[in-house]
Structure 1
Amino acid sequence: MEKAKIDEILRSLGFGFPENKEENIAFEKSFIEYKFEADAEKIDSEKILKSLKAKKKATNIDYHRRTVLAAEIVYKLHKENTLGHLKLQKLIYLCQHSAQMELHTNFLKQAMGPYDNRLMRSLDTQFKKNQWFEFSGGDYLKYKPLSKVGSHKEWYERYFENELSDIDFIIEKFRKSKTRVVELIATVFACWKEILEEKQLLNDETLIFRFYDWHPDKSKFERQEIIDTFEWMKNEGFYPKFNS
């Protein structure tokens, strides 16, 4: 295409450039009143990029993956009287974020820590539908094995072949732990994760502030409990990590 034709098209779209002294003066005058009002120091390029990324819609496979992970946790812990809805959710949360898994969950700030109400209802339904487990909150052992218990294994090893050791570590580490302990650890983990994501200074004071700010119910935990948990997690190497 000839240059003259290209210039004509660009001008019609408003992309023409000054070609002589008069046009250059007119161009400068058109921007003389322009004022940049944004604070350049407050522009967060990372947030802008995140907002531009299209949100990935969950597929049936995404829902199946999280159900299979939950099934593995219940399969190994259903004979422990400490396992219920709350502990299961906390273990899923810790598995997901300590091993940096891509799981479709929506953990919100609840009184009991990170919690996803819809997830729990979905898991109960899918467990029963697949004949793996049936939940009964009033029983001593809350997950009753059904006729096809264990049949999730093939899917589990396929979906999580790269995270098997991480998942087993979490399951065994908290096998005997009561719900209160797992809630404390999961909440410290979530607060720690937030601090790192926001590039804030991480120390006892910032973590404790963030912990108590989570929900008024967190006042049931003593300050020293939080500090001891923080130290234990550092010593165990059990804390949020991010891909560089």
Structure 2
Amino acid sequence: MEKAEIDKILRSLGFGFPESRDENIAFENSFKSYKFEANAEKIDSKKILNNLKSKQKATNIDYHRRTVLAAEIVYKLHKENTLGHLKLQKLIYLCQNSAQMELHTNFLKQAMGPYDNRLMRSLDKKFKENQWFLFSGGDYLKYQPLAKAGEHRLWYERYFENHLTEIDFIIEKFRKSKTRTVELIATIFACWKETLEDKQLLNDEVLIMRLYDWHPDKSKFGRKEIIDTIAWMKDEGFYPKY
């Protein structure tokens, strides 16, 4: 196709280009008053990147990594009567977010704090398939080790070699903690994280307000209990860092 024909088609579609001196001057004048209005300070590149990552299709390795992390937590805590579905989820959430690990999870605002229903069903299924653990909600100890319990560790040390210290710290820190305590800490952590992501003023009152706004069920936590927990998190350096 000749250049003249291409130019004709482009012009018919509204893509004509200035060709004479007068056309060039008119083109330049039309953009003299243009002003770039975007506020660069409000562009959160980290949030944009996280949103893009969250839309990527998960692979079998992504699912396996989160199963292996959960297996490590259960492996070390299955003899503790405080470990159940809720505490396990909160520990996974805290491991993922305090160490800023990339895991395929979808923690939503639930009555019990950050929670991912599909994750829990998937973990129970994979634990049983791999012969690692069997969940039994009615028993004193909820997770019963199966024939291949402990075989996850080869994968664990490979997947999380850069986070072993942080994960072990969290597991041991909350070894004896009751589910209620871990639920409160995880929810405060999530509220803290949201406040930082929204670039809002951060103080105890803001965290308390966000926690009570999380879900009506959070009214079970008294103000003093929340303030004492926030103080503990500050003392331990256990909060989101951005």
Please classify the TM superposition score into its range, dividing by the shorter chain length: 0.7 to 0.9
Residue equivalent to 1:183: 183
Map 1:110-125 to 2 at 5 A.
Answer: 110-125=110-125
Deviation at residue 24 of structure 1 after TM alignment:
4.0
CA RMSD of aligned residues (A): 3.3
- Secondary structure in 2 aligned to 1:86? helix
- For 1:175 and 1:166, the matched residues in 2 are separated by 14
Residue equivalent to 1:17: 18
Residue equivalent to 1:46: 44
Instruction: Sort the Cα spacing of 1:18 and 1:227 in 2 relative to 1 into closer, same or farther, 3 A.
Output: farther
Residue equivalent to 1:203: 203
Residue equivalent to 1:95: 95
Between 78-87 and 46-55, the greater mean CA deviation after superposition = 46-55
Residue equivalent to 1:155: 155
Deviation at residue 110 of structure 1 after TM alignment:
0.2
Deviation at residue 224 of structure 1 after TM alignment:
1.2
- For 1:52 and 1:217, the matched residues in 2 are separated by 29
- Secondary structure in 1 aligned to 2:151? coil
Deviation at residue 19 of structure 1 after TM alignment:
2.5
Instruction: Tell me, yes or no, if the aligned pair for 1:81 and 1:142 is still in contact at 8 Å.
Output: yes
- For 1:28 and 1:133, the matched residues in 2 are separated by 70
Between 171-180 and 49-58, the greater mean CA deviation after superposition = 49-58
Residue equivalent to 1:218: 218
Map 1:126-137 to 2 at 5 A.
Answer: 126-137=126-137
Residue equivalent to 1:174: 174
- For 1:185 and 1:108, the matched residues in 2 are separated by 16
**Paired residues, what number?**
237
Instruction: Tell me, yes or no, if the aligned pair for 1:98 and 1:239 is still in contact at 8 Å.
Output: yes
In structure 2, runs of 5+ residues without a counterpart are none
- For 2:134 and 2:175, the matched residues in 1 are separated by 20
- For 2:38 and 2:98, the matched residues in 1 are separated by 35
Instruction: Sort the Cα spacing of 1:166 and 1:147 in 2 relative to 1 into closer, same or farther, 3 A.
Output: same
Instruction: Sort the Cα spacing of 1:52 and 1:94 in 2 relative to 1 into closer, same or farther, 3 A.
Output: closer
Map 1:65-84 to 2 at 5 A.
Answer: 65-84=65-84
Deviation at residue 226 of structure 1 after TM alignment:
1.1
- For 1:106 and 1:75, the matched residues in 2 are separated by 23
Residue equivalent to 1:194: 194
Instruction: Sort the Cα spacing of 1:51 and 1:141 in 2 relative to 1 into closer, same or farther, 3 A.
Output: closer
Instruction: Tell me, yes or no, if the aligned pair for 1:136 and 1:144 is still in contact at 8 Å.
Output: yes
- Secondary structure in 2 aligned to 1:109? strand
- Secondary structure in 1 aligned to 2:139? coil
Residue equivalent to 2:61: 61
- Secondary structure in 2 aligned to 1:144? strand
Between 219-228 and 86-95, the greater mean CA deviation after superposition = 219-228
In structure 1, runs of 5+ residues without a counterpart are none
Deviation at residue 8 of structure 1 after TM alignment:
8.0
Deviation at residue 56 of structure 1 after TM alignment:
1.9
Map 1:132-143 to 2 at 5 A.
Answer: 132-143=132-143
C-alpha offsets along residues 70-89 of structure 1, whole Å, 9 cap, x if unaligned? Answer: 00000000000000000000
Instruction: Tell me, yes or no, if the aligned pair for 1:74 and 1:143 is still in contact at 8 Å.
Output: yes
Deviation at residue 17 of structure 1 after TM alignment:
2.6
Deviation at residue 23 of structure 1 after TM alignment:
6.7
Residue 17 of structure 1 aligns with an amino acid whose one-letter code is P
